[in-house]
Amino acid sequence: MASTARRLNRTPEPSTLRQIHDRSDPSRAALRLLLGRALEQSEYYAPIFASRWPLLELVQTSLPVDQENPVKIGSGVRLVLHHKVTNDVADTVFSRSMADAIDRHPTWPAKERTDNADRTRTCGAWMGIKTCNNNHHVGVTAFCNNHKRCRRCARADARKQSEKLYLVAKHLLKRQQVGYSLKMLTVTIRNSGNVLADVATIKRCWPKLYRSMFKSNFSAARSRLEIGPDNKTVHAHILIYCRFIDVKAISAKWQELTGDSKIVDIRKVETNSDKKLRLACKEVCKYITDLDKWIKQHGIDEACNQIADLTLRLKGERFGESYGNFRAQVFKATFNYAMPKPEEHDPLLCNICGSTWAKYEEVIEPRGPPRLTVVHA
C-alpha cells in the first residue's frame, strides 16, 4: 500500500507529533493531554501516523471540490489533514489507554476482557483503500463499536443518531402545532453514592414524568442519561417538543416522583438557528460519559480506569429512549406517513459518485515497539 500512498505528493512533509501538539487548541485540555501522551511515547505512535498521513492525503485530494471540500491542494488540504490527523492521534492514544485499563481490570471476565481490549486497541487501524472507476478513494478502517468507552466510535455514532433526530425535529417544526415548541429539559438525581441505584431511579421516574406532564398527541421526547465526572451525579438531557409548562410545576412533580430530587432546568431551543438545533440534537445523542470531561477531570489513565469499571457495571443498560413522535410507529400514526430518515448509502457503490468499486488495496500499518513486562526476575 505504500506505493499507492506515494502517488500523491501535493502537500509539504507530514506534520510531526510535536507540531500537531503545539498547534492544537490550548482550551481543549483533554485533547492536549492525549496529544502530550502521544509525544511522550513517540517511539510507538510516530511510525503509525507517518504512514497514515499520505493515506489521508490520498483520500482527501480525491474528493470533488464543493462546499464540504472547498480545497484540494496546497495549504488548504494541509489544514484539513492536520485537523483529521489531530483527532486521529487523540483517538488512537485514548483507545490504547482504554485497552490497557480493560486489560488490568480485576473483575472483568478473562476471555471477554481480552476480546474487548484487543478490539479497543485496534480501533481506527487502516485495513485498506477502495478505489472506484472515477478514481475516488475511500479508506477502510477498523471500528470496535464500543460506543460507551471509545472516543472515536462514540463520536461517529452520536453524529449518525443526531442526524436522524435532526430530520424528525425539523419536520415537527414545519408542522408546527399551536402552543408547542422545542425545549431542552435537564433532570438531576440527588447523588446517593450508588451509581447503579441512581441510574435505576432516573430510568424509573423520567417516563412517569413524561406521561404525567408532557404526553399528548403531538408531543415528542428523546432522552439521554449522563454521569458527571466530578462525583458521578446522574442526570438526563431531554430534547422535548411540548406545550409550555412552568418549571416550578415540573420541579415539584420531579420531587414527588423521586422523593428527594427537585433540580430541573428547561430552556427553549432556538429553532431559527440551524446550527443550534443541530447542537441540541447532538447533546441528547452523546454517550453516558462525556469522555473528554472525564480526561480533563481525572487524567488519561484514571479516567480510563473509572470508565472501564463504570461501563462494566452498567453493561446491558439502555441510556437513550425516544417517546411520542420521535418514535417511528407513533410518528406514522400521527402524520399518516413514514418518519423521515437519512438516505442510506449502498456500501457496494462509491459514496462520492455512485459508481461501483473497481479496486481494493490492503494496508498494513507499522507497529510500535512491544512493551516488555518482567514476569520473573
Tell me the domain boundaries of the chain.
2-144+346-362, 154-335
Q: In this structure, are residues 122 and 144 in contact, taking their beta carbons and an 8 Å threshold?
A: yes
Spelled out in words, what is the top-level CATH class assigned to the domain 154-335?
alpha beta
Place of cell 512493551: 371
Query: How far apart are alpha carbons 144 and 152 in whole angstroms?
Result: 9
Comparing CA positions, the residue from 88, 123, 50 lying closest to residue 368 is 50
What residues form DSSP beta bridges with 137?
Answer: 131
Query: How far apart are alpha carbons 169 and 323 in whole angstroms?
Result: 13
pLDDT per residue of the chain (377 residues) written in tens, 0 to 9 = 444 444 444 444 567 888 888 888 888 999 999 999 999 999 899 888 888 888 888 888 887 765 444 444 444 556 777 788 899 999 999 999 999 999 999 988 888 899 999 999 999 999 999 999 988 999 999 999 988 899 999 988 989 999 999 999 999 999 888 999 999 999 999 999 899 999 999 999 999 999 999 999 999 999 999 998 988 899 999 999 999 999 999 999 999 999 989 999 999 998 888 888 999 898 888 866 688 999 999 999 999 999 999 999 998 888 889 999 999 999 999 999 999 988 888 888 998 888 999 999 998 887 666 655 555 65
Q: Tell whether pTM > 0.75.
A: yes
- In one-letter notation, the amino acid at residue 111 is K
Query: How far apart are alpha carbons 125 and 114 in whole angstroms?
Result: 18
Would you call 145 helix, strand, or coil by DSSP? Answer: coil
**At residue 221, what are phi and psi to the nearest 5 degrees?**
-150, 145
What residues form DSSP beta bridges with 175?
Answer: none
Comparing CA positions, the residue from 97, 38, 60, 162 lying closest to residue 308 is 97
| Other beta carbons less than 10 A from residue 17's beta carbon | 20
